[in-house]
Structure 1
Amino acid sequence: MPHATRTLMTAAATLAATALLTGQAMATTATDSANGTFYYTDLLGGNQQVVNPELNSCKLVSTLGTSVSNQTDATVVLYTDTSCALLANPVSPGSTITFAFKSYRFIDN
């Protein structure tokens, strides 16, 4: 095989591999977080918000949460303990509820 042909084939294979890896990286990044904003009110009446919250990660609230508005594209599950294990209350996208919670986790729909 001529050197020029081999060089072109190697370059094409490298570009294809780069495109594949870049596409996978973009897809992974896109699914690592929910799109939108999660709003909650804490026990002291403070309004908190989390933009594009991370998926599948237990998050603690600094003060007891009392109500939420889930304006994301993923379900958030609220928990009464600090380890995302006790008394789960799922809140679907676009929903607002009043519920006392200490931690939360966003999950894929």
Structure 2
Amino acid sequence: MHRFTRTITTAVAALAATMLLSGQAMATTATTNASGTFYYTDLLGGNQQVVDPELNSCKLVSTLGTSVSNQTDATVVLYTDTSCALLANPVSPGSSITFLFKSYRFV
């Protein structure tokens, strides 16, 4: 009976650990994207939009961006270079701005 109890205890512990890890994975997934839509206009006058943009990832625009409307629940930071490093301009949720940019990152 002792060996049976130990086997059951080990199985319950493994199941609990799996459930805990699954719960953490779901919580992490839920926070990897902003909610809402990010709109921007490019140099050619084209209107672009990104639905539920990814957080903490540097994204390039196809042509120079000229203005944005951040209708998400996260701040977007605009950059004048292609590596999200130079001349940052943050745009808070619900805000719009005219600014020349080559890349952006949601934080």
Could you tell me the TM-score, scaled by structure 2's length?
Answer: 0.90
Aligned length, in residue pairs? 107
1:1-56 CA distances to partner (integer Å, 9 max, x unpaired)? 53432332122112101111101111221222212211111111111111121111
Gaps of 5+ in 2: none
SS at 2:68 equivalent? strand
SS at 2:56 equivalent? coil
Gaps of 5+ in 1: none
SS at 1:19 equivalent? helix
**Aligned equivalents of 1:31 and 1:100: distance in 2?**
28
* Aligned twin of 1:13: 13
**Aligned equivalents of 1:50 and 1:100: distance in 2?**
18
* Aligned twin of 1:90: 90
How far apart are 1:103 and its partner, in Å? 0.6
SS at 2:87 equivalent? coil
* Aligned twin of 1:76: 76
Q: Does 2:103 correspond to 1:100?
A: no
**Aligned equivalents of 2:60 and 2:103: distance in 1?**
4
Could you tell me the TM-score, scaled by structure 1's length?
Answer: 0.88
What percent identity do the matched residue pairs reach?
A: 85
Which consecutive segments of 4 or more residues in structure 1 shift more than 6 A? none
